[in-house]
Chains A and B, each alone.
Chain A
Amino acid sequence: GENVEQHPSTLSVQEGDSAVIKCTYSDSASNYFPWYKQELGKRPQLIIDIRSNVGEKKDQRIAVTLNKTAKHFSLHITETQPEDSAVYFCAASYNNDMRFGAGTRLTVKP
């Protein structure tokens, strides 16, 4: 089955700086790559996603890039704010079998 690796496991940035989280996947059949944000004690919620026919997608301060050849994708958050502090999960999916990375705990220092 699909295996998703996520790095780094923890990331600390100063408010206003950018944050980058990287993921790799193993199954070349995977065609959907979402990113979820989970605040402490809450449920995961989708923040952005990308499909395999697209190389990059942006939504205000967040962007995701996908390199199908290398089987890796990344989340970029610009102008980070304290409310961006959370755990972020990447995932890869084919035919609704969705597998998640282990998560990155992002801390934004004011």
Chain B
Amino acid sequence: DGGITQSPKYLFRKEGQNVTLSCEQNLNHDAMYWYRQDPGQGLRLIYYSQIVNDFQKGDIAEGYSVSREKKESFPLTVTSAQKNPTAFYLCASSIDPAGSFGETQYFGPGTRLLVL
């Protein structure tokens, strides 16, 4: 079955600690994204990657870092510089982000990050 997996489902971060959220897809999609969802707000784009070894900052990239060494993997690191990390993090992928009609994005189940 093709899809996107995210792990872990819940993650706890101590103050000053970096944590990494995993995102893997087997849909053979070129583009991958990371979003953050806070209560009462829409999904906000953190980082996106259109192709392997390339990624771009989204609207709220400060305090986060990513890598795209493999097509199927796009891990997100929440660094200690992110002062308000508690949120629901969603990873998504699409065939091609630069298509004319806004390619449909497929989402993973999400990771909820909580600060201890």
Same complex origin of A and B = no
